[in-house]
């Protein structure tokens, strides 16, 4: 067997491996869709597990907003024309408070978002 054929067979072997079950690639994120509009996040609370990789799909239904959850390092703009994606993994349990970080009108201060992180 020549070197080129061996390399091709090895490549095919690697491509056929069930990557997820071997832990060579990160597990796909759990996706939660969050709509943002004046003056609320929907849902306004989510519950995830510590160590769980979570993807938030943030969609504005009206004007530009943002989601800021300082303790989880989240600070993401949300616009109507471009849905945003945030991926995070909290390693510790607790309740993490978020808010809209972009002034969007008289009710802006009431726009809160809570991430409950439960133990593994
Ligand atoms: Cu706002």
**Tens-place pLDDT, residues 64-102:** 999 999 999 999 999 988 899 999 999 999 999 999 999
Helix, coil or strand: residue 15: helix
Residue 120 contacts by C-beta under 8 Å, 6 or more apart in sequence?
49, 50, 51
In the structure, ligand 1 is a single-atom ion and the residues with CB under 5 Å from it are: 65, 100, 104, 108, 111
Domains defined along the chain, listed by start: 27-118 (2.60.40.420)
Interval between CA 30 and ligand 1 midpoint (Å)? 25
What's the confidence (pLDDT) of residue 15?
45
CB 72 within 8 A of CB 89: no
> Once rounded to an integer, what is the mean pLDDT over residues 14-38?
69
Interval between CA 42 and ligand 1 midpoint (Å)? 13
């Amino acid at each position: 067997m020549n070197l080129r054929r061996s390399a091709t067979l090895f490549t095919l072997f690697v491509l056929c491996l069930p990557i997820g079950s071997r832990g060579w690639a990160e597990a796909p994120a759990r996706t939660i869709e969050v709509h943002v509009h004046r003056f609320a996040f929907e849902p306004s609370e989510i519950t995830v597990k510590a160590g769980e990789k979570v993807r938030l799909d943030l969609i504005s239904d009206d004007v530009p907003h943002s989601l800021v959850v300082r303790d989880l390092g989240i600070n993401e703009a949300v616009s109507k024309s471009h849905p945003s994606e945030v991926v995070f993994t909290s390693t510790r349990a607790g309740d993490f408070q978020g808010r809209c970080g972009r002034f969007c009108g008289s009710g802006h201060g009431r726009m809160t978002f809570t991430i409950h992180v439960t133990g593994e």
